[in-house]
Amino acid sequence: MKFGGTSVGKPERMHQVAELITKDAESKIVVLSALSGTTNSLVAIGDAMASGDRETAKQQIDKLEAHYQAFIPELVKTDAARAKAKAIIAEHFEFLTIILKISFSEALSKDILAQGELLSTKLFSVYLGEKGIDHALLPALEFMSIDIHDEPQVSAIRAKLMPILEQNKDKKLFITQGYICRNVRGEVDNLKRGGSDYTASLVAAAVNASVCEIWTDIDGMHNNDPRVVKKTVAIEQLSFEEAAELAYFGAKILHPTCIWPAQQQKVPVKLLNTMQPEAAGTVITQEAGSVGVKAVAAKDGIIAINIKSSRMLLAYGFLRKIFEVFEKYRTPIDMITTSEVAVSVTIDSGTHLKAIVKELEPFGTIEVEQDHTIISVVGNEIAQTQNVLSRLFEALTPVPVRMVSYGGSKHNVSILLPSSFKTQTLQLLNKGLFGLE
Ligand code: ADP
Ligand code: ASP
Ligand code: MG
């Protein structure tokens, strides 16, 4: 069971989480995020330190500490528990204050970012202790790891986690940190923003759990982004493929790559609402459940690269040479379209853009367009059913579509457009595909 930032963001929410995890006597591993807002504050502290602005960093640290100090009296009631909670806060904020004095580095910024999940799990453990709820706190840094390419591997996690569980055979309830891990250099690292979902799925796969429950602040995956359009509805059932596409193409409720570990081990994933635990939520399994379009999602920050070359005509091996450039810079391509004389690809990271463009130049004329958005229409057998394609393009009439990708999978049609058209497009699709205003 994984609980996100808002699910642990207030003392009363932590109390509710304690109820939810003790409803039945089944063994469970509970993965917690940092309290909502904490990771953003830690990012700001790191940024201030990186730019040498210790004054701002110190102010941010003090503000965050005050937030935690105010959290304690509502979380626990006994003097003993309050003293324990105070000691935990003192330890972690002392650490942040010491870091202020050390010269800044990338590794140090990861140490800063790790404080949020360490604090939330330790404070929650104090609350469980006060309530007399038997449990063990498992340090994620002892079993969550990423490889040389910063990718987690289920087998490596399993190899470390199983002996720890074995040592705690008498326990049925385990609490651990989401998001944080160790890299190949043994340093503290993380699974990128929103990574607690990934931790949950990886742990569920490692222990072959019967289910992986992601508890958040909404009753499951909705058909459209509720932050952008007014009326959205929860989806009952998704296949792993559909959920993975939605997560990867921007549905913030799930970390972009968190589905594969559960899918690999066939562990069903449920998306549930901490604020409304009786709601059915979304079930993600191998079966899609129904045929037809289910949801749209949007991914921002996309860069389109167009390579025009007359030499492409009749030339086999041309695409391989182009792809090799992206491979060299470990930059994944999201979308691709080709014509006889040109190929367009999209990437979501501009980190190596300059170098990539330089290496592509010998192949033809290169054009780069920034600030684009991919909107993905996801469902089961979508193109074959319900005239999805015709309704999609009808809805898109006012939108300057730059690329279309269809046919790669049976559950996705993706379109690329300038980001300034994103809100309008999501609204148009909500009406055109789902009949929702
Ligand atoms: P947590 O902190 O629990 O991980 P997140 O904020 O990461 O929660 O994810 C939940 C949020 O995702 C929701 O509050 C909602 O605004 C947003 N969201 C974006 N797209 C969708 C979608 N298609 N379905 C449900 N929620 C979505
Ligand atoms: N606390 C981390 C973040 O805000 C991880 C997570 O919440 O999933 O990104
Ligand atoms: Mg999240």
* DSSP code, position 361: G
Interval between CA 282 and ligand 3 midpoint (Å): 15
The helix or strand, by DSSP H or E, that contains position 394, with its residue range, turns out to be helix 388-395
**pLDDT higher than threshold 80 for residue 177:** yes
What's the sign of the alpha-carbon dihedral 159, 162, 168, 172? positive
Confidence of residue 355 (pLDDT cuts 50, 70, 90): very high
Interval between CA 178 and ligand 2 midpoint (Å): 8
Q: Which residues line ligand 2 (CB under 6 A)?
A: 4-5, 33-34, 39, 116, 178-179, 193-197
The helix or strand, by DSSP H or E, that contains position 202, with its residue range, turns out to be helix 196-206
Interval between CA 116 and ligand 2 midpoint (Å): 9
**pLDDT at residue 128 in the model:** 98
**pLDDT at residue 144 in the model:** 98
Going by C-alpha positions, the residue among 432, 435, 368, 423 that lies closest to residue 397 is: 432
20: tokens are 């939810």
For the chain, first and last CA: distance in Å?
A: 34
Interatomic CA distance for residues 425 and 226, integer angstroms: 14
Interval between CA 216 and ligand 1 midpoint (Å): 7
**pLDDT at residue 276 in the model:** 97
**pLDDT at residue 193 in the model:** 97
**pLDDT higher than threshold 70 for residue 352:** yes
Q: Strands (DSSP E) along 201-274, which ranges?
A: 212-216, 237-239, 269-273
**pLDDT at residue 289 in the model:** 85
Which atom of ligand 1 sits closest to the CA of residue 217?
Answer: 14
- Which of 31, 36, 39 is the best mutation target for the ligand 2 pocket, counting ligand atoms within 8 Å of the beta carbon and taking the most? 39
- Of the listed ligands, the closest to the CA of 5 is 1
- Of the listed ligands, the closest to the CA of 235 is 1
- Neighbouring CB atoms inside 10 A of 6's CB total 18
Report the side by side order of strands in the sheet with 28-32. Answer: 136-138, 173-177, 28-32, 2-3, 212-216, 269-273, 282-285, 237-239
**pLDDT higher than threshold 60 for residue 313:** no
**pLDDT at residue 314 in the model:** 56
Helix/strand/coil percent split, the chain, to 5 = 45, 25, 35
Whether 252 lines ligand 1, by a CB cut-off of 6 Å, is yes
- Of the listed ligands, the closest to the CA of 33 is 2
The more confidently predicted of residues 233 and 342 is: 233
Whether 231 lines ligand 1, by a CB cut-off of 6 Å, is no
Whether 289 lines ligand 1, by a CB cut-off of 6 Å, is no
Interval between CA 222 and ligand 1 midpoint (Å): 9
Confidence of residue 388 (pLDDT cuts 50, 70, 90): confident
Q: What residues flank ion ligand 3 with Cβ within 5 A?
A: 4, 194
**pLDDT at residue 421 in the model:** 98
Whether 217 lines ligand 1, by a CB cut-off of 6 Å, is yes
**pLDDT higher than threshold 80 for residue 384:** no
**pLDDT at residue 386 in the model:** 64
- Of the listed ligands, the closest to the CA of 199 is 2
**pLDDT at residue 24 in the model:** 95
**pLDDT at residue 312 in the model:** 65
Interatomic CA distance for residues 430 and 293, integer angstroms: 11
Average pLDDT over all residues of the chain: 95
- Which of 215, 246, 253, 433 is the best mutation target for the ligand 1 pocket, counting ligand atoms within 8 Å of the beta carbon and taking the most? 253
What's the whole-number mean pLDDT along residues 46-55?
A: 94
The residue contributing the CA closest to ligand 2 atom 5 is 194
What is the tens place of the pLDDT at every residue in 94-141? 999 999 888 889 999 999 999 999 999 999 999 999 999 999 999 999
Contact between residue 377 and residue 395 where contact means Cβ atoms under 8 Å apart? no
Which atom of ligand 2 sits closest to the CA of residue 195?
Answer: 8
Confidence of residue 36 (pLDDT cuts 50, 70, 90): very high
Interval between CA 159 and ligand 2 midpoint (Å): 25
What's the sign of the alpha-carbon dihedral 190, 17, 63, 139? negative
What's the whole-number mean pLDDT along residues 318-328?
A: 93
**pLDDT higher than threshold 70 for residue 32:** yes
Confidence of residue 203 (pLDDT cuts 50, 70, 90): very high
- Which of 179, 197, 203, 258 is the best mutation target for the ligand 2 pocket, counting ligand atoms within 8 Å of the beta carbon and taking the most? 179
